[in-house]
Structure 1
Amino acid sequence: MAASRIELMQQMPIFGAIAAESVEFLLTAARVIEMPCGDYFFREGEPGHGMFVLEAGSVTVSKSWQSHELLIRRLVQGDCFGEMALLDLFPRSASVRADADCVAIELTSANLYRLFERDVEQFALIQMNIAREMSRRLRITDDLLFRARMGEVPQAHERLAR
């Protein structure tokens, strides 16, 4: 297993404080996905089966609104997306498109379940880290919603070409 891949994962908030052996164990069963520029990892509304760790390239996260694709955020190497699929059974809440040729590591619920069977403490730490990351993002969203309700004009949303 490439040490650089393990190091990349350990630098992410979701895998912070996770032992290298546990990260390596997760990676042995994980698929590596190559996504050409312009293709979608997934689209809003599709079933979610796992999360992705962006090893190379960049992606755009977007949501549909009134027949337009609106930018939510851009992600680069070392970022992750799709982690909500590991905690809930709802469809994807956004679309993720490759802005450049990408390489990503896909981690599924089955990968995490294997870790649960092997080391419940490391599994629990990853689950708590995912919850913390989702909570951080929710706080940002709550703040944006509050400001909008108080009359602060948000930045114009960038429309993405289809």
Structure 2
Amino acid sequence: MQEARIELLQRMPIFGGIKTEILQFLLGLCPIVSMPADEFFFREHDQGDSMFVLETGKAAVLKSWRGQDCLLQTLKEGDCFGEMAVMDHCPRSASVRAVENCSAIRISAANLYRVYAQDLKQFALIQMNMGREVSRRLREADNRLFGARMDAPRADNGAPYSPAPDTLSDVGWQWKC
């Protein structure tokens, strides 16, 4: 089972290029979490100190808007989530709920710190890879937001319609910790 988990991690952008022995060391520290369908790994605004790698099952990334959970993305085997809280120590920016019965590797900030103590270069590579993955997701979100803005209704003069201030597009992106 350990070999399959190492292969799973090696296929991921965050752990690409990480030595097998470091992944073995990290996996030796990390628990496997089982999550039944419809249960939450975590909820938006929870404090977080760990990320997860989905081993089996599917999960939904949900963002609360006006009392409703809105689907942002569906995660599958090999996807990771929760890494933002590991990097910035801020509350969770979204909820993640199991759509099917799931198992996931829980990687805490403390476990990553143990990698730091074991092999500084490998730790730095993991951190750089995490930053790249978060940057990739931010670029994707920027492109989706831009596309939504450009497809927004237009006023009679061709200018973009300016919606009421209580709509999502006027709220803007604010990073609060």
Q: What residue is the counterpart of 1:127 in the other structure?
A: 127
3-state SS in 1 of match to 2:14: helix
Runs of 4+ in 1 over 4 A off after TM superposition: none
Q: What residue is the counterpart of 2:174 in the other structure?
A: none
User: 1:150: Cα distance to partner?
Assistant: 2.5
Deviation by residue 1:30-50 (Cα, 9 ceiling, x = unmatched) = 011010111000000000110
3-state SS in 1 of match to 2:70: strand
Number of residue pairs the alignment of both structures matches? 153
Quick one: distance in 2 between partners of 1:22 and 1:132? Answer: 20
Spell out the pairing of 1:93-104 with structure 2 (5 A cutoff). 93-104=93-104
Q: Which ranges of structure 2 fall in alignment gaps of 5 or more residues? A: 154-177
Q: Given residue 24 of structure 1, which amino acid in structure 2 is its aligned partner?
A: Q
Quick one: distance in 2 between partners of 1:144 and 1:94? Answer: 17
Q: What residue is the counterpart of 1:69 in the other structure?
A: 69
Q: Using the aligned pairs only, state the percent identity.
A: 54
Q: What residue is the counterpart of 1:15 in the other structure?
A: 15
Quick one: distance in 1 between partners of 2:143 and 2:6? Answer: 34
Quick one: distance in 2 between partners of 1:147 and 1:34? Answer: 37
Quick one: distance in 2 between partners of 1:5 and 1:111? Answer: 16
Query: Would you say 1:34 and 2:34 are equivalent positions?
Result: yes
3-state SS in 2 of match to 1:60: strand
Query: Would you say 1:84 and 2:118 are equivalent positions?
Result: no
User: 1:134: Cα distance to partner?
Assistant: 0.3
User: 1:152: Cα distance to partner?
Assistant: 4.5
Structure (1 or 2) with the greater strand fraction = 1
Q: Which ranges of structure 1 fall in alignment gaps of 5 or more residues? A: 154-162
The alignment's TM-score, normalised by the length of structure 2, stands at 0.84
Determine which structure has more spread, i.e. the larger CA radius of gyration: 2
The alignment's TM-score, normalised by the length of structure 1, stands at 0.91
Q: Given residue 101 of structure 2, which amino acid in structure 1 is its aligned partner?
A: D
Q: Given residue 63 of structure 1, which amino acid in structure 2 is its aligned partner?
A: K
RMSD: 1.1
Q: What residue is the counterpart of 1:44 in the other structure?
A: 44
Q: What residue is the counterpart of 2:150 in the other structure?
A: 150
User: 1:7: Cα distance to partner?
Assistant: 0.6
